[in-house]
Amino acid sequence: MTDTVYMLQLKGVCKRYNDIQALAPTDLSVAEAQTTVLIGPSGCGKSTLLRLIAGLIRADSGTIVVEGTPLTPDNITALRHRMGYVIQEGGLFPHFNVRRNVTLMADYLGWDVERIDTRLGELADMVRLPSSLFDRYPAELSGGQRQRVSLMRALMLDPHLLLLDEPLGALDPMIRYELQQELKTIFENLAKTVVMVTHDIAEAAFFGHTLVLMRGGHVVQKGNVQQLARSPAEPFVEQFITAQRDPMQQLNEALS
């Protein structure tokens, strides 16, 4: 039996904002080439945890290890080049067109024009974004198109680790469904290590090899969706899952 290889390990990582504990001391291991989904109610600490992994904020204590290397202020810039980051509504620069938004870091790192154009074309095909949109600005794109551009930007440097913070939360249901299917295919084809934040248990189950359910800055339970549903670690787990029953199931129950 092959031992699990971990892309990411957190050891005693915690974060406070004055008197508020955003994240209690947390241990977490993320397997390579799998999707781990951080899930829980608003304010549970899942986005804080993702931002700590990305190095956007610093932990008060504990260690974050990425591919065997502890994250420090001295190496965070280099390690970020091995991470892609996607947030809700894309987070694109409004004064840059699509091409510039996607290729910004490649330009900064001195990639030549041919290499940039080749990678840009590969990514556009991957996320199904027409090249005719490359000269448009974010305000001229639909929500789904902006998320496709944001994913292209995150993948531009071919990162080992992909971090997504509620990437589909602001989209209407039809566009969200379409992008869910496409994202899952991309994750599987690229065999990337993915850490995703969502509050939606159905979305978490669709994407996640492993779900990490959080509450009040603590990890309540970790496992696949069947383990959480069939063997809840505490009543909150069952309550959280029950509260997110499929809307059609709730409608049928109401009409019966």
Tens of pLDDT along 126-144? 999 999 999 999 999 999 9
Percentage of residues of the chain with pLDDT beyond 90? 79
Which distant-in-sequence residues (6+ apart) come within 8 Å of 144 by Cβ? 171, 175, 178, 179
Signed CA dihedral, 26, 11, 52, 30: sign only? negative
Token pair 């989209």: residue: 171
pLDDT at 115: 97
pLDDT at 69: 93
What domains lie within the chain, and their CATH numbers?
1-82+194-256 (3.40.50.300)
Structure confidence by residue, pLDDT tens digits, 141-172: 999 999 999 999 999 999 999 999 998 877 88
Q: Is the pTM of this model over 0.75?
A: yes
Of the ranges 36-45, 107-116, 209-218, 239-248, which one carries the lowest mean pLDDT score? Answer: 239-248
Of the ranges 19-23, 161-165, 248-252, which one carries the lowest mean pLDDT score? Answer: 248-252
Secondary element (H or E) of residue 245: none
Q: Average the pLDDT over 195-224 and give the result.
A: 94
User: How many angstroms separate the CA atoms of 66 and 8, rounded?
Assistant: 5
